[in-house]
Every structure is written in C-alpha cells, then in structure tokens.
Structure 1
Amino acid sequence: MPSLLRNPLTKRLLRPALSLIEQRMEHVTHAFQKDLDALHHEVADLRRQSYGLGLLLDHAGRGAHRMPTPTQVDRLVDEVRAVTGAADERARGDVTVAYRHLVALEALGVGGIGGTVSDVCGRLAAVPLLATGSGAEPRADVGAGPGVVEVLEVGTGHGLFAAALRRMLRRHGVEARLTLVDPLDGAPALEEVVRGNLALGGGSPDASRLVRGRLDESRVRELVADRRYGVVLLDGPHDGVPALAAPGAVVVSPAGVPGPGLRPLGAVADSAYYGTAA
C-alpha cells in the first residue's frame, strides 16, 4: 500500500479528492474560528456585565449578597402564596418589585437592610398582601382611617426596611404611619441617618415617629401603646404583643410565637407570620 500511494499515477488520481478535502477542512476551520471568536466576545461581554452587577449586588458594604437564584425566587413565591393566599402571578409580581426596592434603597440609602434576600423580599411582599386583604386573608382593622395602616417596627436598624415597606404598601393603595422602636446604639448621628433613609420611602415626615429605647422598657411601651397597629414587625420574642395589635393585624417575628392569642399563618424564609382575631 505505501508503494501504491507513492505512485505518480495514484497521486494524480487522488489530487482532486485531496484538494476537495483540504478546502472543506479550511471551510470548517474558518467557521469554527468565527464561532470561537464570537464566543470569546460574548464571554468578555458577560464578564463586564457580571463585574458591574457585582458592584451593585455583591456583599461588599453589606452583610450578604443580593443575587438570588431562580430556585430561590420560585421557592419564595410559593411560600408567599401559601401564607397570603395570593395568586401565583400576583405573588411573583410582588416578590419581583420587592427585590427591586431592596436593591434600589440599599443603593441610595445609608447602611443596609438586615436579613437574606429571601427573608427581606418575603416580608416586603407578604406583609402588604396580608395587611390590605390583597391575598386570601381579611384586611386588618388598621384603626387609622381609610387608606392608612399603622405599622410598628421593633428594631428598625437604619430605617431602610421601613422605607421599602411604606413604598410597597402604597402600591396596594394604603399609606403607612410608622412607629419605629430602636435603641439606636452607636454613632450619635444614627437618628439622622434613619430619618434620611425614611425620606426615601416618600410620604409625610409627620407620618413617622422614632422611639428610642427597647420595647420591653416601660417608658417605651407606654409611648407606643397609644394606638393599635395593623402591622407589627418584631426583632425577636416580646411580651404583650397582642395588646398592641389591631383586630386582624399581621405580626411578623423571626423566632418563636410572639405571644398568646395569635394564630399562625405560616412562614416565609426566616420569618414566622401570625394574625390576630378579626
């Protein structure tokens, strides 16, 4: 066989076939190189986009990153639906808007919002659905006039969650009157930071009051007991919570049952949800 391939006649006969093979190989190689170059450009673009998103959403400057996976979002939507009774489309839409509020307010405000993406967005989505009756649960008797809901947040931090919740409630057609309880330990200017962050939520400055101290202190309890709240957000177990809640109120706690007389509604991410008798 080797001697046959070296034969001049054989070479002349095979030359057209070899030329055709070479042409086709060149064509395939050229096409492959074009695809490879295009892939390199796409990867470079993705890296640039990823870097920009990382600056906006990664954990730098905050306790945790803000980049949920599709699986996390799907699970969160299911949990919001289970607690509120809202339709899938409504729950998914509110979770999406809640995420946008989280990113926007942390970008514009000072400080951050404590908690994971799922827990923060879960509260921002589920609380308005429950408090306004947009889900299956009845609306709270908010006790502040039509279109207004009294909100008590214990452990307000930098005030960004309260600002985001106010905006989410406004999307459901109600304005929030905020009572925020926090010892505000740390920098002397922290109270001004909170008030500045609250301004990002819109609304009248008179619709927010900041009570320095802890809820278990008698002075603080006396100050906040002048009204009943349609939404109560707790930073842990506290005594006497049902006495502060309006009929049909929503109570959210990160740990344990906050008091007798509250019926469990379910859990979303790291928070437990309760309701008072309507």
Structure 2
Amino acid sequence: MRPLPTRRIASTVLLTAVLGLLPAGLADAATARFGRSFFVTGLGFDTCEAPTVETMRAWRESPYKVVGIYVAGANRACASPRLTRDWVTAVHRQGWDFLPIQVGLQAPCTQSDKPGRIDPARAARQGIAEANDVVDRAGALGFKPGSALWFDMEAYDTTDAGCRTAVLDFVSAWSDRVRERGFVAGYYSSLDSGVADLVKAVGNRSIPDAIWYAHWNDRADAGGDGALPDGYWHGKRVHQYTGNVAETHGGRRIDIDRNAVDGPVGVF
C-alpha cells in the first residue's frame, strides 16, 4: 500500500475552507479552538500498550506518522505505565504526532465487555466528569490547549432508544466541557452505531468537533465510506480501516489498528 503523504499545517490556513463545509451546529466557536490546533493528513496506528521509545524510533521507517495513545479512562484495556510526559516528549521529538484517547464510561447497552457504563439518569454529569479527567491527564502529559482529545465509545445496540439517548447526552456534555477547557472534542465509535447516531443528531444537539470512525474495509482514506455526508466533519476525520493486525518495522513487532488521518491531532 502506498502511504498517504503527511503534512502538518497550522489550522488557521485551513480554517475558512473547513468552516464553510460544516453543517449548522458544528461551526459554533470553532475558530478559537481550531486556530490553535494542527491538522495532519497521513497514516497512523493505535495500539493498546504504549510501545517503548526505542520501538517508536524503529517504526519511523514505517508508513505511519501518527500514533493513538490511551491517556485516560477506567475502561482502558492496558495501563501503559511507560506513558509519561518524558515518553511523549521523546516520541514527539522523533517526529510523531498523537491522537490522545480516553476509554471512559460506555453505553448502557454496549456490545463490549467493558464494565464501566453510563447511568442514563446522570449521563450529562458523567460526561462532564470524564471530560475534566481527560483534559487533566492530557495536560499532565504535556498536551496544550487546542489539542484534539478523543473519546472511545465502543459499539452499542442502536435499537435501544433509551441507551441511544444516554450516549448522546453523555457525548454532548463531554464535548461541551472539553471545548470549555480549550481543547478540541473528538469522538471515536463504529460507523454504524455511535457515528450513525451523531449524524442523525446534527443540528439537534451539541456534538463533537471531529470524528474517528471504525469501519474495517481496508480502504486507507477518510472519505466517510458513503455514511458521512460530504460536509459533515470534512477535514476533521480519522478512519480506522483495519484492526487487530501485527506489523514489524525496524525489527520491532507491534499489534495495531490502522488509521487514515485527515484531521486535528495533539499540540505538544
């Protein structure tokens, strides 16, 4: 596979074009946030446990330029004890960009086995608490305001109306609080559950600034796969196009998910 070109551009260069393509509700107060952010277009990967600094250096020969790191959330599968400010600093100096991820409370009707669930009666309050946690933890790692922070909502049963409402209440409150703290609100979910519900919610409630959609079709692009209207999150997307694969670069093997990035990343 021919890697996509990677570019880092101050978002003020792209801002006018990006905002012009947003539907109602997505452009509010975006100028201040994205004016401090960076956009990247290229290939990335995420992996459960933060690799060693040496492994990340070896992987500079790979086609990947962006790495997803799990910085917060009680539902994280890996504790990643080596993920410290020193690790982020060292890896950033190697030339990597970051997608900081939080795996917090999941849908009441989640299809995952993660134990922490949203309480529908307290969904908005829980969303605010989770937002404060990821901002604090990302800040401790050195990420500055303007960074995109990503909430990981695993697939859930979209036929459960009460569950869907709880997720949207949670995500709206989480997104608003992340923005209030000066960061960019990004949201990861499967294309046919969490992302599909957000598409329907556009114009009706507060929603995240950027979308990271999981659709394992082996297509390394962020075009929306026909499920995202052209103007929705245009230029603010990540596509997880393959998962649970092993790759070796520079003699170092990692189990990864593959991503096509066309959106905001962490500012360090």
Q: Which has the higher helix share?
A: 1
More strand by share: 2
TM-score, structure 2 as length reference: 0.32
Tell which has more relative contact order, 1 or 2 (C-alpha 8 A, sep 6+).
2
Question: Larger radius of gyration, structure 1 or 2?
Answer: 1
Q: TM-score, normalised by structure 1?
A: 0.31
